[in-house]
Amino acid sequence: MRHLSLAAFLACLAAPLWAEGIAVFPVKLLDTSHEARDQRADHDRRLMLFGQVLADHLPDARLIDPQALDTCQPQRTECLLALARDQGADQAVFVVIQKTSTLILQVFANRVDLTSADRADSRNLNFRGDNDAAWERAARFLAGQLTTPR
């Protein structure tokens, strides 16, 4: 009996105390603003900034390398979830930002439980300002929303 208790205790020490982590997928942009000026370079930089700030403010989160998505072509749900699991995560966060005008952007975020493949949380928010500071604030706010139970 003593050996069984010791084995159970050691097994508990080896197991993680809670979630293994959150995989944050590269943030995507849907630009429907029809602005004349090409802003792709700025937006690409801001997408990386948003993802990094989000990962920095979520507990045990790490960014999925955009190159890793090459293994999931076309990008189907099953493949993306398997990719996150392979990274050692038990949750994944997917974010799409829609730019509707010069100043108004909307964020659609889903957090998925990788064990059940069910959506664990969904958040939609708006933010104003197509600049680095506004995108960073929105990412920090979203991280707070995703870590706050409804």
For 73-84, how does the pLDDT look when each residue is reduced to its tens digit (9 = 90+)? Answer: 999 999 999 999
Residue 16 has pLDDT above 90, yes or no: no
pTM for this entry: 0.85
Residues 93-128: tens digit of each pLDDT: 999 999 999 899 999 999 999 999 999 999 999 999
Confidence label for 2 from pLDDT (cuts 50, 70 and 90)? low
Spatial separation of the C-alpha atoms in residues 9 and 80, rounded to whole Å: 35
- What is the C-alpha to C-alpha distance for residues 32 and 105, in angstroms, rounded to an integer? 10
Whole-number pLDDT of residue 11: 41
Reported as a single tens digit per residue, the pLDDT across 53-76 is 999 999 999 999 999 999 999 999
Percent of the chain exceeding pLDDT 70 equals: 87
CATH tag for 20-146 (out of 3.40.50.360, 3.90.1150.10, 3.40.50.10070, 3.60.15.10): 3.40.50.10070
Could you tell me the two tokens for 9? 């205790």
Domain locations in the chain as residue ranges: 20-146
Give the Cα separation of 11 and 23 in Å (integer): 25
As a whole-number percent, the residues of the chain with pLDDT over 90 amount to: 83
E-strand ranges in the chain read 22-24, 28-31, 61-63, 91-99, 104-113, 118-128
> Can you give the pLDDT at residue 150?
76
Kindly state the tokens that stand for 105.
Answer: 């952007």
